[in-house]
Structure 1
Amino acid sequence: MAQELKYSQLKNGCFPEDFSFRTTGEISPLEGIIGQERAVRAFDFGLMVKMKGYNIYMAGPSGTGKTTYARTSTEKLAATEPVPRDWCYVYNFQNPRNPLALRFEKGLGRQFKEDMSELVQLLKTEIQKVFRAEDYEKQKSNVMRSFDEKRSSLMEEMSKMAAEYSFQVKTTNSGIYFMPVVDGNAIAEEEYDALDEAVKNEIEKNSQIVQEKAGAIMRDIRELDKASKKELEQLEYKVGMFAIGHHISAVQEKYQDCKRVIEYINEVREDVLENLSQFYEDEEESDEGLSSLLPMLGKKPAEDVTLKYKVNLIVDHSKSEGAPVVVSFNPTYSNLMGEVEYDSEFGNLTTDFMKIKGGLLHKANGGYFIVQAQDILSMPQAWEALRRVIKTKEINMDSSRDQLGATVAPTLKPEPIPADIKVIMIGSNYYYEVLSEYDEEFDKFFKIKADFDYEMPRNNENMWKLARFIKRFVAQEKTMEFDAGAVCTILEYSSRLVERQNKLSTRFNQLAEILCEAVTWAKMESAKVVTAEHIRKTIYEKEQRLKLYEEKLGEMLDEHVIMIDTEGSQVGQINGLAVLDMGSYAFGNPSRITATTYVGKSGIINIEKEARLSGQTHDKGVQIINGFLGQTYAQEFPLSLSCRICFEQNYNGIDGDSASSTELYCILSSLSQMPIRQDLAVTGSVNQRGEIQAIGGVTHKIEGFYDLCKKRGLTGSQGVMIPASNSKDLVLKDEVVESVKNGEFHIYPISHIEEGIELLMGLPAGKKDGNGNYPENSINGLVMKKLKRFHHLAQCSEKE
């Protein structure tokens, strides 16, 4: 007969005497993280490796402090590292659609932007001054006069040549043409037709000669105009260079260590000198009436003249200390990579390099980027963007419209920026496995995995650290202190969260919820410290808020809508235990399992499977029962058995093998016709050798059956059979512990199916003798007898 557990074995108590303080006011706050030594070592090592591919994936359940630790630890290291460079985008004079990226030492990016703004304004002032000066006008006039004289001379020559052949030169806005002269008078076109044919022929002949000679003179005039324009441009360039050269040289000298900046400033100088007129010409007067009616015909703002000389500073570290640490909870494609914004002007989309906006990866460049796996995988194109940056080590600002194939306007292609970013991704093991399976290069990109555990050993060191964690909560939230009793209750609750007597939960967000609510209850009672009663009240009230479904099921059990017996005995019927998980709340739920057996060849039929309500693990448990029956009873003859097992009134499906031993007891009862005690509920997995294996949720399962028995009235014989290997997993409520202590409820640890048989049916299982037979007055003997009878009947049926 199995020995029941003592009340002292049902939970690992914690007492105020275990601590040397009376309240948390006497201890110091915790620094760092508890119980994650393996993960911390991996993470800290990953931070120190600066080679390509050594990004970090922090795996583990939520609430274990991954994000907090990642941020604090990374910021601590980053503070000791150099500040990365500033980045600017500037106009590309060779290819305006491809803005250039310039980098600067810390703070120089902003300085360069200011210097260029001042330079352009200074250039504009100086150019206007020098080109409106009398000296420039005089030089320009001299050049123009010289060329005008030569042009006039050529025109005179042309007039003389035309006169020799009786033609007169006429100059209009549309050009130069020749009119024939007859008897000293120029002949108009309408008069030409009235002339004699001989005169006309003479005019035609002379006209060809004039046209040929005039063509040569016109070529000279055009060459003269080109020379004139070129000399004026040279004059403008010379005067402009005189005005701005020393100012540009001063800026170049300031940034002489940066070759690309020097090259860019040279291009600015040449562009300014090529477009001097934009700086000094008077604004043309526009038609105010027309402009008021059609504003789009008005002139562009004056700042458009100098737009291409501006500097777009997208990364500014002028006020930074150490390497950047960027944490993102909204990693959309545009947030990560930056974007090029657009303006709408009368239905047309326009943009320029000043509308380039940097992204989070630009800010994190030279430092660290922390992101949640779920967040980045749920955003379209975001993972592909981050992956490309990690692989190519550059930030390439392709338009999101390009990525989605929806380009509807001219786009810019900014020059890619070299990237040196350590990425820290935080998520569950599920996302790690998904990425590893579907991205063949994921393991190459994230070579460090920091695996956070959901539990930690319950030793003196961790218990003390948990007390200091509570003190840190008090310090951060500026709340009242917690007394030692409250700390002990939190410790017990922490063990209950992981359902292990010798473990504590590392999901500190769940503990923090209890602390927050306990402080509120204490304030409502005007207490000076938070006590154990406040913690217990918090846990009770939290459960009450979540247990609506449990209460509804309880009502149906009370009213026998769901049929469960808690007294008496029945053949082929047993109380099984399941756990219903509602997400934030789980509870135990008793259910009736029945089995029927009869002659046949179909073996064990799982009704849940036939109804498609059974999961794969539950189906596996049924197959294990088949193996046990064959091993135990079918060594000398085949089983001629048909058996149907069923979870009665189960309409939502079931999975798991924690009821396999329960189902086996039920089948043996049906075969032996020995009744099973209904005041006991059973849980546990069985293997083919009849050994009882550990299952999950044992605490909730016990409490679920206890609550039902309590409502119906405890008889003193009721209890639960559990796997012996689950004994250390019990973290039962004080109410259940007290009932066990008073002999009102019982918990039996079982190691083998034989122990359970004797406890449930009142007969020993029975051992085989030397001839391979079981004692007649044993469960195995009765089962063997029934199976032999089934075999005999099956043989007779076949002969007939």
Structure 2
Amino acid sequence: MRVAANHLQPPIHEWAQQRPASVNPNPLIGQRRALAAIEQTMRIGGRYAHGYMVTTPGLRVIDVLEELQQRHQWVHFERFDWLYLANPATASEPLCVNVPAGTARNVLDGMMKLFETKPEERTELLEKLQSDYPTERFQRYLQLVKDKTFEDLPGSELATVIVQSDAEKNDFVLCDRVTDASLFGSIRLQSVGGTISSELHLIQPGAILKANGGVLAIDAEELLSQPGLWRKLKYILRTSFFHWPQPGEANIAAYYQPEPVPIHLKVLLLGDRSIYGQLRELDRDFDNLFPYLADFSAYYSLTQDNLVPYFDYLAYVEREAATLPLAAGALPLILKESSRLSDYQTELSLDTIALMQLLREAAAIARQQQQEVISEDAVLAVLQQRQQREGYIAELSRRQILEGQVYIATDGEVVGQVNGLTVVTIGGSEFGEPTRITATVHYGDGDIIDIDRKSELSGSIHTKGVMILSAYIANVFARSEEMRLSATIVFEQSYYEVDGDSASLAELCCLLSALAEAPIAQGLAITGAVDQFGAVQAIGAVNEKITGHFELCQARDLDGKQGVIIPKANMGQLNLEPHVIAAVEAGKYAIYAIDDVADALALLTGEKQEQLYARIEKRLAELQHCEPEQPWYRRIW
């Protein structure tokens, strides 16, 4: 099937017309699955009810957490201020006390007044402190010191506030730079008169204590890259107590052991899916501690959701980019680039950072041109500049073909030769280009020799693809008796490892061409995977492959006979550049979508599959009843 020009990119102009008059910036558009998981996580309390958020490239975690905070409060949220107070029994073991959130400074003022008042005159003050700050730990401490004076307290300090909270504000505490000190806190040391010691003011809280009573979000990759931190975190979550480590180095004798802090919080680990998989596989406690998975999506599916909410997401991107307003005429190009990032016509990207970069680059060009909005021309200029910046290696590779250093034919017909389509990745650059595949046949036992595999230039997936096409040929031509023809196949002028199965259709057509002695049109290039029954299957990077072949043909002048053959399953991924679409629309270049090897053979050779296979069968039948001709040196003996 020849693909019409209107199917070569998503309907971006139709999409742009659906933008509503008013929008509400929202970073959580398209995340219903993840939001449902977060909502469930926030309903549950206890030690075994934490969650893992699968974050995607380009997701701005801070913005997501702020939005989640407004929507989903942890129902077991309970904030306190936490203090360490001097222990009358020993200076090296201060006592941990919690008081209602926001009252720590008032508590310290009350405690100072208490100790400044004579013990026999403290009754009224004690009753007021007990009434104003009715927490069990503080009540217990008041009973402990109700008859004590400053002189009865060891050390030089009465108290230190380690955490001050807001009872009304349930912030997500984010720990994205994870170290032992930033997550768990630390106790510093001081040297006084040659003696190493620690005191109350040297206790430094970490993110766990700052989030206590609320929600703590931790970067999982950072956490796991620091030896020992994961085990310490697990211990705290299992026991609900935070124990301070001994301060200083192991060889410094300075005993200082504050009372453990009771921990009551919700933990969300943030990371990619591979880390989640490793934790589930390698740690038997992980599933118990983190049973809830919030899987954030990188794409907005138009098959599952209406397009209109996506404009709220774009409004959020515009707000965070803080650039010039986006003109209505530029919106189709933004949507086209968003679809290109997703690789599907029915999906749009949720890569916030990539879209912000696009808007900021376009705004810079617009300002340079003294425009007050981001115009269509400004966005187009950005996209062209990116192609220019990233296209150097592709141009060098294409120049080798144009100068004849690498032989690729784009006209004429040749038996046993076809142009496949590959993607080349070199030094961070990725581009598509055609590659010449050739096949020869000779008398033998029916085996197919892959020269790339023999020379150890074939990856495992490519090897699998060759074995599948071998199975197809055997299934068609050698069901009842052995084939008397063998074949060799190779990627010509390929000096690096070849991998992937996207060339298996091209290799099969090349082999069948050699077996039937049917010439293949060199103006057509082909890509696709094939199964054992000849069905054509989808491949990756279809747009890059088409563009690579088109650029070569355009440099040699388009004659209307050139084009590419792709799997029909890849039509939903087409998102080509305007100049390629224009050439297709003008009939100077063709794109064909197929789903069976028979369609590919008809396009490449101009003959029906039945005709080609009949010629191959005839050739094989002739070989079955005759011996191969002897070499000349044997005939003269």
TM-score using structure 2 length: 0.90
Look up the match of 1:61: 56
Q: What does residue 612 of structure 2 align with?
A: 779
Please state how far the C-alpha of 1:336 moved relative to its aligned partner.
Answer: 0.6
User: Could you tell me which of 407, 415, 418 is aligned with 2:262?
Assistant: 418
Deviations 1:657-682 (A, max 9, x none): 11111111122222223222211111
Letter in 2 for 1:322: K
Q: Distance in 1 between matches of 2:156 and 2:124?
A: 19
Partner of 1:12: 10
Which amino acid is the alignment partner of residue 394 of structure 2? E
- Aligned-partner Cα distance in 1 for 2:454–2:296: 41
- Partner residue, 2:573: 729
Distance in 1 (CA, whole Å) between partners of 2:111 and 2:15 is 72
Question: Does residue 316 of the first structure (1) align with residue 316 of the second (2)?
Answer: no
1:683-738, Cα deviation, whole Å (9 max, x unpaired): 00100000101112111111110011111211210000101122222111111111
Give the one of 167, 172, 177 matched to 1:330. Answer: 177
Give the Å deviation of 1:69. 2.3
C-alpha distance 728-400 of structure 1, shift in aligned 2 (>3 A): farther
Question: Is the deviation greater in 59-68 or in 628-637?
Answer: 59-68
What secondary structure, in the 3-state scheme, does the structure 2 residue paired with 1:482 have? coil
Mean Cα displacement is larger for which, 652-661 or 264-273? Answer: 264-273
Name the CA distance, whole Å, in 2 between partners of 1:609 and 1:67.
49
Please state how far the C-alpha of 1:320 moved relative to its aligned partner. Answer: 5.2
Q: Would the aligned equivalents of 1:58 and 1:66 in 2 still touch at CA under 8 Å?
A: no
In structure 1, C-alpha distance between the alignment counterparts of 2:279 and 2:162, rounded to whole Å: 32
- 1:521/1:339 CA distance change after superposition, 3 Å: same
Pick closer, same or farther for the CA change 1:39–1:716 going to 2, 3 Å.
Answer: same
Once the two structures are superposed, the pairs formed by residues 693-712 of structure 1 within 5 Å of their partners are 693-712=537-556
Counterpart CA distance in 1 for 2:170 and 2:427 is 40
Deviation of residue 361 (structure 1)?
A: 0.6
Q: Does 1:360 align with 2:207?
A: yes
Q: How far, CA to CA, are the matches of 1:348 and 1:481 in structure 2?
A: 64
Aligned mates of 2:122, 2:500 — CA distance in 1: 81
Write out per-residue CA displacement over residues 413-441 of structure 1, whole angstroms, 9 at most, x where no aligned residue: 33222212111222221111111111122
Q: Cα gap change, 1:561/1:389 in structure 2, threshold over 3 Å: closer, same or farther?
A: farther
| Structure 2 CA distance for aligned equivalents of residues 81 and 392 of structure 1 | 18
Identical residues among aligned pairs (%):
29
2:83 to 88, 96, 99: 88
**Shift, 1:381, TM fit:** 2.5
* 793 and 91 in structure 1: CA distance in 2 versus 1, 3 angstrom threshold: farther
Structure 2: tracts of 5 or more residues without a match: 631-637
Cα distance in structure 1, aligned partners of 2:608 and 2:358 = 48
Q: Indicate if the aligned counterparts of 2:86 and 2:154 stay in contact, CA closer than 8 A.
A: no
- Inter-partner Cα distance in structure 1 for 2:123 and 2:85: 17
Moved more, 755-764 or 581-590: 581-590
**Matches of 2:39 and 2:217, distance apart in 1:** 15
Structure 2 residue identity aligned to 1:311: A
Pair 1:342–1:362, CA change in 2 (3 A): same
Partner AA of 1:5 in structure 2: V
Quick one: structure 1 residues 477 and 572, their matched pair in 2 at CA, closer, same or farther if it must change by over 3 Å?
closer
Shift of 1:650: 2.7
Q: Distance in 2 between matches of 1:651 and 1:399?
A: 59
Other structure's SS at 1:54 match: coil
CA deviation map 1:542-563 (0-9, x unaligned): 2222222222222222223232
Residues 597-656 of structure 1, C-alpha deviations (whole Å, 9 max, x = no match): 333448233333334333322222112112101111111212355433222333332322
Secondary structure (helix, strand or coil) at the match of 2:178 reads: coil
CA distance in 1, matches of 2:247, 2:596: 64
* 1:789/1:90 CA distance change after superposition, 3 Å: farther
Return the letter of the residue paired with 1:440. Answer: R
Report Cα offsets for 1:119-162 as digits up to 9, x if no partner.
55x37xxxxxxxxxxxxxxxxxxxxxxxxxxxxxxxxxxxxxxx
Give the partner amino acid of 1:104: V
- Match 2:507 to one of 654, 659, 663: 663
What secondary structure is seen at the aligned counterpart in 1 of 2:399?
helix
How far the C-alpha of 1:391 sits from its partner, in A, is 2.2
* CA-to-aligned-CA distance 1:180-215 (integer Å, 9 cap, x gap): xxxxxxxxxxxxxxxxxxxxxxxxxxxxxxxxxxxx
Q: Which residue of 2 aligns with 1:452?
A: 296
d(CA) in 2 for partners of 1:17 and 1:601?
A: 58
Higher relative contact order (CA 8 A, sep 6+): 1
User: 1:250-289 CA distances to partner (integer Å, 9 max, x unpaired)?
Assistant: 347513645544554555567759x67xxxxxxxxxxxxx
Structure 1 residues 263-282: aligned runs within 5 Å: 263-265=140-142, 267-268=144-145, 272=149
Counterparts of 2:327 and 2:305 in 1: how far apart (Å)? 19
Out of 130, 142, 148, the residue aligned to residue 255 of structure 1 is 130
**SS of aligned partner of 1:371:** strand
Alignment equivalent of 2:228, drawn from 381, 402, 414? 381
Matched, 1:36 2:31: yes
- Corresponding position: 1:393 with 2:240: yes
Residue aligning to 2:409? 565
Distance 1:60 1:644, change over 3 A: farther
Cα pair 2:90 2:154 within 8 Å, conserved = no
Deviations 1:742-791 (Å, cap 9, x if unpaired)? 1110111111111111221232221xxxxxxxxxxx32233334445666
SS in 1 for 2:96: strand
More helix by share: 1
- The correspondence for 1:516, drawn from 341, 360, 370, is 360
- Map 1:446-485 onto structure 2 (within 5 A): 446-458=290-302, 462-485=306-329
Q: Distance in 2 between matches of 1:650 and 1:323?
A: 60
Q: Which runs of 5+ in 1 are unaligned?
A: 124-242, 277-304, 767-777
CA contact (8 A) 2:320 2:356 kept: no
Offset at residue 576 of structure 1 (A): 1.2
SS of corresponding position for 1:29:
coil
The verdict on how the C-alpha distance between 1:314 and 1:784 changes in structure 2, with shifts beyond 3 A counting, is same
The answer (yes or no) to whether the contact 2:422–2:434 under 8 Å persists in 1 is yes
Partner of 1:443: 287
* Counterpart-to-counterpart distance in 1, 2:428 and 2:31: 24
What CA deviation, in whole Å up to 9, does each residue of 1:299-347 have, x standing for no partner?
xxxxxx8635511211112x55323320121011221111111124577
SS at match of 1:487: helix
Q: 1:398 to 1:517 in 2, by over 3 A?
A: same
- Which has the higher mean CA deviation after the structures are superposed, 463-472 or 734-743? 463-472
Partner of 1:47: 42
Give the residue type in structure 2 aligned to 1:4.
Answer: R
Return closer, same or farther for 1:396/1:462 CA change in 2, 3 Å cut-off. farther
**CA 1:500–1:33: 2 relative to 1, 3 Å:** same
Preserved contact between residue 16 and residue 331 of structure 2 (Cα < 8 Å) = no
Deviation readout 1:477-534 (Å, 9 max, x if unpaired): 5533222221122112222222322222222322222111111111111112222222
AA at the equivalent of 1:53: Y
Flag the 1:534–1:400 CA change in 2: closer, same or farther, 3 A.
farther
Q: Which amino acid aligns with 2:612?
A: I
Q: SS state of the match for residue 57, structure 2?
A: coil
Q: Which has the larger radius of gyration?
A: 1
| 1:553 paired residue number | 397
CA contact (8 A) 2:535 2:597 kept: yes
Higher mean displacement: 736-745 or 377-386: 377-386
Does the Cα contact within 8 Å between 2:446 and 2:482 map onto a contact in 1?
A: no
Give the SS at the match of 2:533.
coil
Q: So what's the TM-score if we normalise by structure 1?
A: 0.72
SS of residue in 1 equivalent to 2:488: strand
Letter aligned with residue 489 of structure 2: I
Distance in 1 of aligned mates of 2:16 and 2:528: 35
Partner of 2:635: none
Inter-partner Cα distance in structure 2 for 1:53 and 1:794: 76
Does the 8 Å contact 2:446/2:483 carry over to 1?
A: no
Change (3 A) 1:685 1:478: closer
